[in-house]
Chains A and B, each alone.
Chain A
Amino acid sequence: MKAHGSIIPDRVVEVLRGPAVMVVGTRDAGLRPAHVCAVGAVVDDDRRTVTFFVPESRSARLLSDLQNNGRVAFSFGLASHEAYQLKGTYLSSRPTTGEDVALQDAYRTKLFAAARKAYPEDIARPYALGVAYQPGVAVTFRVEEIFLQTPGPDAGTKIA
């Protein structure tokens, strides 16, 4: 039986651990798009699935879409503009645990440090640390396609 999904390359795993801005896209039954920001994410041990975290207050539409059709797009990029987009199928969701929150805090710290380089303090702080991320929902999906999203001549290239 052929294994489902793509193996996520090392570099993508690394960027996902870094202070990347994370964008989640879904759509409803009528193909109308929806958006939510993820606050942290992690590549699961199998290297084929990714779990991202969203605030519970922003999860209603997301979960409704995922339950309807399971399609998800997950884009993330560094301040250097190196960026990737993962596309795949929803697997499961659950409330965030203490371990997840620790991961999220590590992510927020890195994001704040990066934001301070790009913005004055009075923007960096609320921007990076101002999202109410608890209580949170952890959403897991199987990665089926990986695209390079870094702006430039190769943007849109499928890499896995």
Chain B
Amino acid sequence: MATLPEEIKAAMQGVIPSHVVTCARDGTPNATAISQVYYVDPEHVALSHQFFNKTVRNVRENPRALVWVMSPQTFDTWDLEVEFDHAETSGPIFDVLDMQIEAIASIVGLKGIFKLRSADIYRVISATKNVSERIPLRDIVEPRGGR
């Protein structure tokens, strides 16, 4: 098991959407963007879902997943190899996620309708910071032309 570095917390605030790739038992991969990955502790992350989707189905047959996050402060990205551990439908982690969803749902008039189904807890197997893939800020130019 690996430990998540402190600096990754900024990438887990849901500012920039994260990505998750899973794989069904029949070998078909599934790729999706999600709004937020939650930092639970240095060795665990949580994913929330409101509808029972393919990602959820896949990890229950094949627990390995790849979670990709980007920091809105440094724009570093991480590949996290994680493994589905268990789902929680109550408890402190569920409560924190549930509360956030309840708050936003009430703002858009979905109070009571849009609810957290479960908080899926994953163990972190490895955390790799992706290096040498960014253009330094001062060197960024907007493309000319473009169709």
Contact = CB atoms under 8 A, between A and B. Distances in A.
**Chain B associates with chain A:** yes
Interface of A: 21, 23-27, 31-35, 37, 55, 57-58, 69, 71-75, 77, 83, 85, 87, 102-103, 105-106, 108-110, 112, 119, 123, 125-127, 129-132, 149, 151, 153, 155-156
Contacts of A112: 142
Interface in B14-50: 15-17, 19, 21-23, 25, 27-33
Given A25-B66, A126-B140, A131-B134, A71 B27 contact: yes
Given A26-B29, A57-B132, 20 more contacts: A23-B31, A25-B29, A31-B62, A31-B64, A33-B29, A34-B21, A57-B133, A58-B133, A73-B30, A102-B147, A103-B147, A105-B143, A105-B144, A108-B143, A109-B142, A127-B16, A127-B72, A129-B141, A130-B137, A151-B51
B108 interface: no
Contacts, number: 133
Contacts of A69: 27
B31 A73 contact: yes
12 contacts: A21-B17, A23-B32, A24-B31, A32-B64, A34-B66, A35-B31, A73-B21, A74-B31, A85-B31, A110-B146, A123-B72, A149-B32
B53 A72 contact: no
A134 to B, nearest CB: 10
Interface of B: 15-17, 19, 21-23, 25, 27-33, 51, 53-54, 62, 64-66, 68, 70, 72, 75, 79, 81, 130, 132-135, 137, 140-147
Nearest to B15: A123
A42 to B, nearest CB: 12
Contact of A27 (B29, B33, B54): B29
Given A34-B21, A37-B19, A127-B75, A58 B31 contact: no
A65 B48 CA distance: 28
B65 A33 contact: yes
B25 to A, nearest CB: 8
